[in-house]
């Protein structure tokens, strides 16, 4: 990490001069936004990218530039079907990958949903927790054997984890009043805790895991938000920033948003990012749970990187999906 990258760094900035020839990468959510750019940047620098998406026709249309840049850069892209809201699909995807027995240098759990109306996955889990966390929990654990010594896992999290800690007593909102961003916060905290627990289990063989916040980016992730809702949130954030003498919030471009995933996956030192939460291409400071913090300030809540909470979530997740992963 000799070079200093930050909030405005792009995927091309962090990968400048690097060859990823011979690297195999698995990325979920390659039908739009950050997933497409992440796949493009890695393939453009020589990596073979296996991209997963629920809608393969949409993914094929969205990745035309990925294939073009891959051809120029010596990389490649293939697409596989994966619906994270259906564990049968998750298991089928993992089984197909395991049958090929081709190892991965990097797995990026990028796909996700945000602020959805109250609903359930095919298996009966609250939509955001089931899709963002449990789908990836089963997928990554089932293909962990394909991650060779020295490989990495990058979980896409969010500063939205500050909306809420996980609730192991009521993960499906059976007794809690449903709020879209409360549910989103729980799922994003779960993404971070999953990285912490996975890292603890696999670091002895050199496999490290980290969680990253890409920043605020205008992508399809916000499709469930009502008209004017994003503008109202930004106005509220900027009102507070002005009162505190801080600069206003600025959206990142998609290449800037994908930069931290790529940086944590192939550029940063493994021991520096393993078991941690990263944003703006650096490891974030831990902020005490009782300390005020806005969505545009850096830092990760202590509850989101607590190894005890991580183990409790792991155990609860195994119970929910009916599988043991060690």
Catalytic residues: 184
* Cα 170–Cα 172–Cα 176 angle in degrees, nearest 5: 55
Q: Measured between alpha carbons, how far is 307 from 123 in angstroms, rounded to an integer?
A: 27
Reduced to 3 states (helix: H, G, I; strand: E, B; else coil), residue 307 is: helix
DSSP 291: S
126 exposure class (CB count in 10 Å sphere: 0-12, 13-18, 19+): buried
* Cα 73–Cα 79–Cα 82 angle in degrees, nearest 5: 145
Reduced to 3 states (helix: H, G, I; strand: E, B; else coil), residue 151 is: strand
Dump strand ranges (E) for the chain. Answer: 24-28, 48-53, 76-81, 104-109, 147-156, 208-213, 277-279, 282-283, 286-287, 300-301
Residue corresponding to tokens 């989103």 = 184
């Amino acid at each position: 990490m000799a070079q200093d990258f930050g909030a405005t760094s792009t995927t091309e900035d962090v990968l400048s001069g690097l060859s990823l020839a011979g690297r195999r990468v698995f990325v979920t959510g390659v039908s739009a936004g950050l997933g497409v750019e992440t796949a493009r940047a890695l393939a453009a620098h020589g990596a073979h990218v296996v991209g997963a998406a629920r809608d393969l026709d949409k993914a094929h249309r969205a990745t035309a530039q990925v294939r073009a840049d891959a051809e120029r850069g010596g990389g490649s892209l293939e697409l596989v079907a994966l619906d994270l809201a259906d564990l049968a699909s998750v298991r089928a995807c993992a089984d197909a990958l395991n049958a090929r027995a081709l190892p991965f240098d990097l797995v990026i759990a990028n796909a996700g949903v945000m602020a959805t109306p109250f609903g359930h996955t095919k298996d009966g889990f609250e939509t955001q927790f089931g899709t963002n966390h449990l789908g990836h929990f089963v997928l990554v654990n089932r293909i962990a054997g394909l991650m060779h010594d020295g490989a990495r896992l990058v979980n896409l999290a969010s500063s939205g984890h500050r909306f809420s800690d996980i609730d192991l007593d009521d993960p499906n909102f059976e007794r809690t009043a449903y709020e879209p961003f409360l549910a989103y916060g729980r799922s994003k905290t779960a993404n971070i805790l999953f990285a912490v627990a996975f890292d603890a289990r696999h670091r002895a063989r050199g496999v490290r895991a980290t969680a990253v916040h890409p920043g605020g980016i205008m992508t399809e992730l916000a499709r469930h938000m009502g008209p004017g809702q994003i503008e109202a949130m930004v106005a509220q954030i900027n009102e507070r920033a002005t009162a505190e003498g801080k600069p206003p919030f600025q959206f990142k471009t998609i290449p800037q948003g994908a930069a931290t995933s790529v940086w944590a996956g192939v550029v940063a030192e493994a021991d520096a990012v393993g078991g941690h939460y990263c944003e703006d291409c650096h490891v974030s400071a831990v902020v005490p749970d009782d300390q005020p913090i806005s969505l545009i300030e850096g830092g990760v809540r202590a509850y989101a990187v607590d190894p005890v909470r991580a183990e409790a979530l792991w155990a609860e997740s195994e119970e929910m999906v009916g599988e043991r992963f060690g």
